C-alpha cells in the first residue's frame, strides 16, 4: 500500500530555496564528504562583516563578534582579517580566540560564571566585563585602580521567544539597572576606572526596544566620566525563512547615532559605539546537507515523516525553542524533475521525542510544505551558521561531531572540521572495572 501523503496546492514559487549553494554543488559535496555536513560560505560571511562595519555611528565604531555563535578557527580568522574584535562568553573562549591569533587586547570577556583564571586573563590584556555586583567586587579586590567594563540589565529585553530575551526581570544577565548606586560604591571603593558600559537585550531585537535601551545605556555612561565606549549588544533579527525579514542595520542605526550626537552636545564627550553581532554575521552563511534515511506515515489522519541522517546533535535550535530553518529538497538524481509539493514532519535521527525540525515552541510537531522527497534524496537545512554546530547536543546517542567544509570565495571546497572518530567520544572516560 502506498503511504498516505498530503499533497497540497501550494505553488512551487512559495517553497524555500537554496541560499548560496547550487543543486549540483549539494550533490558534489555530499558525494565527496558524505552527509551530514555543514557548508560555510566565505563570501557570504565577508559580505555580512562588511555590512556590520558600515553600521551608522557618530564618533567611531567597534564591531565585536560574539564567537559563541560559531567559533571555528577559520571563521575567527575571517573576522580578524577585517578588524573585528572578539566577545568571549567564557575563559575557555578567551583561550580559543588567542589560539586563533587574536591579541588579548582585542578580546572582551563577558561571562555568567566568574572566571577561575581571571588574574592571568586580565594580566594578559583581556578586558573584563563585570556582569554582577559579586563579579565587580571580586575584580576590584584583585585589580584596584584598573580599567573595567560594566554590563547592565536595563530592565528591557527583546527576542522571538523568552528563551532568547536576555533583558528584563526574567533575565539573570547583567547588573540590575536600579543598583547603579551600589555599582558606584564598589567602583569608588577600589578606585576602578569604568571605561565601557554594556547592555545586551536579546536575539531578534525590536528596533524600538533597542533604541530605548541605547538611551538608557548612555545614561549609565553619564554616571561614569571615564567611559569612552558604549557597547550595545543584542542580536539583530535575521530572517531565516522566506516570510521573515532581517534587520536593516542602516535603519536601526541612524536613530542611535543621533542619540550619541545629542549626548556629545550635552556633555562634551564623544563616545565610540560598539556592537556585538553573532547571529547577523554568520546565520545565513551556512547550510547543513543531509540525506533522507527513512520515510514513514502514521495513517490517513496522521502525518508523513522524513527522517534525516542528522538531528539535534548537529542543530538543537528547533528542539530548544521551536526555531525554524528552511528545508530544501534536492533530488539525488539530477535528471528527476520535482513537480509536487507535499507536507512533511521532518525529524532527526536521535532517539529523543524532541528531535523534530518542524515543531512549535513547546514541542508540538507541525508539517512543512516541501518539494516531494524520497529515500536517498538530500534535504538542505539553511541558515545554520549561528548557534547550530556550536550549540548542538554533540555526541547524544553517541553520534559523532558533524564535519564542516568551507566554500571559499574562489569556489573551492575545503574541509575545516573532520568527522569525529567514535573513540574520541569516550576518550576521557576512565574505567574502574
User: What pLDDT, on the 0 to 100 scale, is given for residue 168?
Assistant: 58
Q: Which three cell numbers stand for residue 160?
A: 522571538
Evaluate if pTM is beyond 0.85.
yes
Distances in Å between the Cα of 383 and the Cα atoms of 62, 80, 262, 421 are 25, 22, 38, 26
Quick one: how far is CA 166 from the chain centroid? 14
Measured distance CA(334)–CA(276) in Å, rounded: 42
Measure the CA–CA gap between 420 and 189, rounded to whole angstroms: 50
- 117-126 long-range contacts (CB < 8 A, ≥24 apart) are 117/91, 118/91, 118/142, 121/91, 121/94, 122/146, 124/98, 126/88, 126/94
Provide the annotated active-site residues: 351
Nine-digit cell string for 24: 549540483
Q: Do residues 154 and 176 make contact, with C-beta atoms less than 8 angstroms apart?
A: no
Question: Do 201 and 156 touch, CB atoms closer than 8 A?
Answer: yes
| Model pLDDT, residue 350 | 98
Q: How far apart are CA 131 and CA 26, in angstroms?
A: 44
C-alpha of 250 from chain center: 21
Q: Which of 288, 323, 334 minimizes the C-alpha distance to 309? A: 288
pLDDT at 155: 77
Contact 185, 193 (CB under 8 A): no
End-to-end CA separation in angstroms for the chain: 51
Q: What does the pLDDT read at residue 290?
A: 98
Cell output for 149:
567594563
- The pLDDT score that the predictor gives to residue 338 is 80
Cα 163 to Cα 152: distance, rounded to the nearest angstrom: 19
pLDDT attached to residue 329: 97
Of 122, 89, 108, the C-alpha closest to 229 is 108
| pLDDT tens-place values along the chain, 433 residues long | 344 445 455 555 579 999 999 999 999 999 999 999 999 999 999 999 999 999 999 999 999 999 999 999 999 999 999 999 999 999 999 999 999 999 999 999 999 999 999 999 999 999 999 999 999 999 999 999 999 999 999 876 444 433 333 445 777 889 999 999 999 999 999 999 999 999 986 554 566 777 788 888 999 999 999 999 999 987 688 999 999 988 889 988 998 999 999 999 999 999 999 999 999 999 999 999 999 999 999 999 999 999 999 999 999 999 998 999 999 999 999 999 887 999 999 999 999 999 999 998 888 999 999 999 999 999 999 999 999 999 999 999 999 999 999 999 999 999 999 999 999 999 999 999 9
HEC secondary structure over the chain: CCCCCCECCCCHHHCCCCCCCCHHHHHHHHHHHCCCEEEEEHHHHHHHHHHHHCCCCCCCEEEEEEHHHCCCHHHHHHHHHCCCEEEECCHHHHHHHHHCCCCHHHEEECCCCCCCCHHHHHHHCCEEEECCHHHHHHHHHHCCCCEEEEEEECCCCCCCCHHHECCCCCCCCCEEHHHHHHHHHHHHHCCCEEEEEEEEEEECCCHHHHHHHHHHHHHHHHCCCCCCEEEEEEECCCCCCCCCCCCCHHHHHHHHHHHHHHHHHHHCCCCEEEECCCHHHHHHHEEEEEEEEEEEECCCCCCEEEEECCCCCCCCHHHHHCCCCCEEEECCCCCCCCCCEEEEEEECCCCCCCCECCECCCCCECCEEEECCCCCCEEEEECCCCCCCCCCCCCHHHCCCCEEEEECCCCCEEEEECCCCHHHHCCCCCCCC
Are the CB atoms for 192 and 140 separated by under 8 Å? yes
Those residues whose C-beta lies under 8 Å from the C-beta of residue 152, and which sit 6 or more positions away, are 174, 175, 176, 177, 180, 197, 198, 199, 216, 217, 220
- pLDDT at residue 169, rounded to an integer: 72
Residues 6+ apart with CB under 8 A from 147: 127, 192, 193, 194, 195
Amino acid at each position: 500500500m502506498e503511504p498516505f501523503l498530503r499533497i497540497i496546492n501550494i505553488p512551487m514559487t512559495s517553497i524555500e530555496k537554496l541560499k548560496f549553494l547550487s543543486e549540483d554543488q549539494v550533490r558534489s559535496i555530499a558525494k565527496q564528504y558524505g552527509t551530514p555536513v555543514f557548508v560555510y560560505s566565505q563570501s557570504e560571511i565577508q559580505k555580512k562583516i562588511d555590512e556590520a562595519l558600515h553600521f551608522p555611528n557618530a564618533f567611531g565604531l567597534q564591531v565585536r563578534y560574539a564567537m559563541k555563535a560559531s567559533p571555528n578557527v577559520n571563521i575567527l580568522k575571517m573576522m580578524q582579517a577585517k578588524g573585528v574584535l572578539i566577545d568571549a562568553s567564557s575563559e575557555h573562549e578567551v583561550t580559543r580566540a588567542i589560539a586563533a591569533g587574536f591579541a588579548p587586547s582585542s578580546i572582551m570577556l563577558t561571562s555568567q560564571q566568574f572566571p577561575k583564571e581571571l588574574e592571568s586573563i586580565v594580566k594578559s590584556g583581556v578586558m573584563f566585563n563585570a556582569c554582577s555586583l559579586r563579579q565587580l567586587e571580586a575584580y576590584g579586590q584583585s585589580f584596584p585602580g584598573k580599567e573595567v567594563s560594566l554590563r547592565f540589565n536595563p530592565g528591557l529585553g527583546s527576542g522571538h521567544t523568552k528563551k532568547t530575551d536576555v533583558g528584563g526581570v526574567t533575565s539573570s544577565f547583567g547588573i540590575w539597572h536600579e543598583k547603579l548606586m551600589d555599582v558606584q560604591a564598589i567602583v569608588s571603593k577600589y578606585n576602578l576606572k569604568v571605561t565601557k558600559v554594556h547592555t545586551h537585550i536579546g536575539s531578534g531585537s525590536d528596533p524600538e526596544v533597542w533604541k530605548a535601551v541605547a538611551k538608557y545605556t548612555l545614561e549609565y555612561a553619564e554616571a561614569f566620566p571615564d567611559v569612552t565606549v558604549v557597547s550595545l549588544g543584542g542580536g539583530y533579527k535575521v530572517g531565516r525563512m522566506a516570510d521573515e525579514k532581517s534587520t536593516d542595520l542602516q535603519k536601526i542605526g541612524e536613530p542611535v547615532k543621533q542619540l550619541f550626537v545629542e549626548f556629545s552636545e550635552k556633555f562634551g564627550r564623544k563616545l565610540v559605539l560598539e556592537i556585538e553581532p553573532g547571529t547577523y554575521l554568520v546565520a545565513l552563511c551556512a547550510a547543513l546537507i543531509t540525506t533522507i534515511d527513512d520515510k514513514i506515515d502514521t495513517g490517513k489522519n496522521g502525518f508523513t515523516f522524513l527522517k534525516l541522517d542528522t538531528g539535534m546533535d548537529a542543530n538543537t535550535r528547533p528542539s530548544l525553542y521551536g526555531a525554524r530553518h528552511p528545508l530544501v529538497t534536492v533530488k539525488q538524481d539530477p535528471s528527476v524533475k520535482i513537480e509536487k509539493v507535499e507536507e512533511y514532519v521532518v525529524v532527526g535521527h536521535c532517539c529523543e521525542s524532541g528531535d523534530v525540525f518542524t515543531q512549535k515552541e513547546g514541542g508540538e510537531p507541525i508539517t512543512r510544505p516541501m518539494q516531494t522527497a524520497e529515500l536517498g534524496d538530500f534535504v538542505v537545512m539553511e541558515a545554520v551558521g549561528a548557534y547550530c554546530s556550536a550549540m548542538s547536543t554533540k555526541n547524544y546517542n553517541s553520534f559523532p561531531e558533524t564535519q564542516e567544509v568551507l566554500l571559499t570565495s574562489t569556489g573551492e571546497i575545503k574541509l575545516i572540521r573532520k568527522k569525529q572518530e567514535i573513540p574520541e567520544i569516550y576518550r576521557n572516560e576512565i574505567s574502574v572495572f
